[in-house]
Structure 1
Amino acid sequence: MDNQPYVRITNEWDIVAARQLGRNVAKELGFGTVDQARITTAISELARNIYLYAGHGQIYIEKKQDAGKKGVQIIASDDGPGISDIRRVMEDGFSTSGGLGAGLPGVKRLMDEFNVESTPGEGTDIRATKWLR
């Protein structure tokens, strides 16, 4: 992942920078404004989770190609406290921060592919991909 564009998330301004990077990559790949908004919203949510729960981490933006399809993959990675119950955080309305709880289920709905790997005490790795239609 070292050669992929990424933003280190340590403060609120980094969330804005990650959104901008994602929008630029999506635009470059030919995504329309609606899908650009979906992608940047997903990035926002993932970056905010890193900031709120892990304190710091990275958002990688990766161009993907698979069987003639083009897309963008967002990788949110941190070495924070991890998620002890992934099934629970994937329930609509579940929130540990007092927010709306749209969080990870919202990201999953916005994107075409979504995967969470997390080890309590070691961190979380979330991958979300949007394919160009």
Structure 2
Amino acid sequence: MEMLHIREKADAIRARQRGRDIAKAIGFSVVDQTVIAYAISELALKLIAFPEKGHMTVRQISPCKGEPASGIEIRLFDHFRGPSRMNVQWMDKLADDVEMSHDQLRGTMITLRKWILSPLRMDSPNCAAGEE
């Protein structure tokens, strides 16, 4: 997992490029790489617009332990402790899974996950809930 502090536009560009590099390494198509880079860029630019700033993490994920990485997870941490300033509705079309949580002590955390769609394999083990 890589933490990226977002304070200025150059940080947003670095975060976007890092997300694209990870997506390419996993095997996402060029279109999906662009969608992932766009989502990271938009989230990072929203953080820059606020005085409290924030940070992001970008990492490879797999559906089960021991499986090769087949997805990417982006987490945004908005350091603002007031009411949430983020709207996640636009992200639903860009990611396979979107979660948002907010509390007064830690601020807002948004998690996006995007998976590579692959054909169903009959030889792969089934994972129970929580066995990621």
| TM-score clears 0.5 | yes
Question: 2: distance between equivalents of 1:83 and 1:125?
Answer: 12
Unaligned runs of 5+ in 2: 118-132
> What one-letter code is carried by the residue in structure 2 that aligns with 1:43?
I
User: What's the C-alpha RMSD, in Å, of the aligned pairs?
Assistant: 2.0
Identity across the alignment (%) = 30
Q: Which residue of 1 aligns with 2:112?
A: 128
Unaligned runs of 5+ in 1: 90-103
Distance 1:111 1:70, change over 3 A: same
Q: Runs ≥4 in structure 1, deviation > 3 angstroms?
A: 81-86
Q: Which residue of 2 aligns with 1:44?
A: 41
Correspondence 1:56 to 2:53: yes
2:91 match: secondary structure:
helix
Q: Which residue of 2 aligns with 1:107?
A: 91
> What one-letter code is carried by the residue in structure 2 that aligns with 1:29?
I
TM-score calculated relative to the size of structure 2: 0.76
2:50 match: secondary structure:
helix
Question: 2: distance between equivalents of 1:120 and 1:79?
Answer: 10
Question: 1: distance between equivalents of 2:3 and 2:84?
Answer: 26
Task: Please say which structure displays the higher CA radius of gyration.
Answer: 2
Distance 1:31 1:9, change over 3 A: same
Alignment of 1:1-133 (within 5 A): 4-53=1-50, 55-67=52-64, 68=67, 70-84=70-84, 89=87, 104-120=88-104, 122-133=106-117
Question: 1: distance between equivalents of 2:89 and 2:48?
Answer: 18
Distance 1:72 1:52, change over 3 A: same
